[in-house]
Amino acid sequence: MDNENSTDKDQKCKKVKRNSGGPGTAGGFYGLAFIGAAVYYIQNSTSFWVGVLGFLKAIVWPAFLIYDLLKFLHM
């Protein structure tokens, strides 16, 4: 009887849920965009602290994008 239960458990463990797509693609896009934004802001900075501020802006660039999009659409 224990042998049957262990076989059922093994079969249940072998079932793998597969997703098509996922956070990998979005994470890759965000990572590349973060690097690009950080390089842009740091290259255009005039002092060290403006560069630090640019780095922080690069982290939250999607918020700026959505804000400007909504402003453009008059929402």
75, part of any domain: yes
Amino acid 74: pLDDT: 87
73, part of any domain: yes
Amino acid 22: pLDDT: 60
Domain residue limits at 59: 48-75
64, part of any domain: yes
41, part of any domain: no
Q: Which amino acid is at 6?
A: S
**pTM, entire model:** 0.56
pLDDT tens for the 75 residues of the chain, in order: 555 555 555 555 566 566 555 666 777 888 888 899 999 999 999 999 999 999 999 999 888 888 999 999 988
28, part of any domain: no
Work out how many domains the chain is built from and give that number: 1
30, part of any domain: no
Q: Name which of 16, 54, 21, 22 is nearest 35 in CA terms.
A: 54
